[in-house]
Amino acid sequence: DGGITQSPKYLFRKEGQNVTLSCEQNLNHDAMYWYRQDPGQGLRLIYYSQIVNDFQKGDIAEGYSVSREKKESFPLTVTSAQKNPTAFYLCASTSGAPLHFGNGTRLTVT
Amino acid sequence: AQTVTQSQPEMSVQEAETVTLSCTYDTSESDYYLFWYKQPPSRQMILVIRQEAYKQQNATENRFSVNFQKAAKSFSLKISDSQLGDAAMYFCAYRSDFQISSGSARQLTFGSGTQLTVLP
């Protein structure tokens, strides 16, 4: 079955460490996105990529980095420069109108 | 930049009754897409319904329908015959298309969500 796989589901890190969240899709979608969700808030766009080897900053890109070396993969690195990294992170992809979402990764930094 | 506003942080409805969730947006574009997504406790984002702005007819998907008022920039979701499984966070979203150096791009801007409780 086609879909978007985010791993791991839960991730724990110590403050000051970089951490990479995985996102893989087998839907053959060109565009991929990373969103952050905090309690009581909607989804906020971190980064997006329309094609391989190209990506753009979203509304809250500071403290994050991405790469798009393969069409099916769009990993997100949360760096130590991100001041409040604890959140729920959602990856999405599309080739048309609706976004398809992964199941998310809950990152906790202590 | 587009903004999406959901003014009802929480709503409740009795099972089998009808409820309407509100959404307004701000844009200067004439052609765009609007969506309602549902996020149950599993946190999986599920597409409920979508509306193309150039279509005057309101979209309908089974018990879910929208009231799209383009001039008023309003996009409400009506859930009829509410079921316990409808309990979730509902997000309104606006899709904007634009050009970047590598070609066309699109973004979804989300509202802050409405938490719907269905009472048995």
% pLDDT > 90, chain B: 81
A43 CB neighbours in chain B (<8 A) are: 91, 108, 110
Option in A42, A48, A54 nearest B110 (CB):
A42
Check B107 against A45: CB less than 8 A apart: yes
How do residues A32-75 score in pLDDT, each as one tens digit?
999 999 987 889 999 999 999 999 999 999 999 999 999 999 99
How do residues B80-120 score in pLDDT, each as one tens digit?
999 999 999 999 999 988 777 777 788 889 999 999 999 99
Option in B45, B101, B111 nearest A90 (CB):
B45
The average pLDDT across B61-89 equals: 97
How do residues A3-42 score in pLDDT, each as one tens digit?
999 999 999 999 989 999 999 999 999 999 999 999 878 8
| Position B69, amino acid | Q
Average pLDDT of chain B is 93
pLDDT for the residue B63: 97
Q: Judge whether residue B1 has pLDDT over 70.
A: no
The average pLDDT across B44-70 equals: 94
B55 at interface of A, judged by CB pairs closer than 8 A: no
> Which structure tokens are listed for A89?
């992170």
DSSP A24-75: EE-S--SEEEEEEE-TT--EEEEEEEEETTEEEE-TT-TTEEE--SBTTB--
H/E stretch holding B89 reads strand B88-100
Output b/e per residue, B73-93; b: 16+ Cβ within 10 A. Answer: bebbbbbeebeeebbbbbbbb
The CA-atom distances, in angstroms, between B13 and each of B23, B39, B81, B83, B100 are 18, 17, 10, 9, 44
Check B107 against A41: CB less than 8 A apart: no
